[in-house]
A = this chain, B = another copy of it.
Amino acid sequence: MPKLWNETIEEHRRAVRDTVLEVTAALVAEQGLRGVTMSRIAEGTGIGRATLYKYFPDVESILTAWHERQIDGHLQELAALRDRPGSPGERLTAVLGAYARIQQRRHGHDAEIGAVLHRGEHVAHAERHLLRFVGELLGEGVEAGEVRDDVAQDELAAYCLHALGAAGGLRSQAAVRRLVQVTVDGLRPSP
């Protein structure tokens, strides 16, 4: 059955949009933020400048859209780990490990974009979402007796996310695993 015309247009637009985001992120990674202009993005995407301006008004709005998509992807990755089988403690460790690896990457490849964009409202929103998300998982851990119950879950969630921010300065995956272990050890109920 052929697709409806509207659906086809919608798909086409999404494909163009996605390509613009990819091309822009790649250009910034190659040439730094300052070297990237709307003309170069249009050229790299293979569309005209006039068409590009129908999608985005400027480079910053493209980077913001790219960053929002990155953050959404990260949140989905963490949600998938939360929803896997296993005890709350196991799933918490998996989620915190993935979060630490995201922090590590963020300070590598994507550092320049992140530094520019990391004070937007969408970031604050994602951080609140993440705190709630981790807080709920900690609550399950408390129920299961795997997480300490003498400190409120929102405080523990803030502790986790801050502590794992140290992954930004770590080079090896082994060091990130050790950081996750130390952070999780701080969450254990006293023996």
Size bracket of the A interface:
20 to 34
Q: Whole-angstrom distance between the alpha carbons of A162 and B163 in the complex?
A: 5
| A116 nearest CB across to chain B (Å) | 13
Most buried by B among A161, A164, A175, A185: A185
Residue of B nearest to A187 (CB): B182
Asked whether A166 is an interface residue with its Cβ less than 8 Å from the other chain, the reply is yes
Sample (5) of A-B pairs whose CB atoms are under 8 Å apart: A151-B182, A159-B182, A161-B166, A163-B186, A165-B165
Could you tell me if B162 and A158 are in contact, using CB atoms closer than 8 angstroms?
A: no
What residues of B have a CB within 8 angstroms of the CB of A188 in the complex? 185
B163 contacts A159, C-beta separation under 8 Å: yes
- Asked if A63 is an interface residue, CB under 8 A from chain B, the answer is no
Interface centre among A170, A182, A187 (most CB of B within 10 A): A182
| B179–A169 touching, CB < 8 Å | no
Contacts of A19 in B (CB 8 A): none
**Is the CB of A49 closer than 8 A to any CB of chain B?**
no
Q: Identify the closest chain B residue to A163 (Cβ).
A: B163
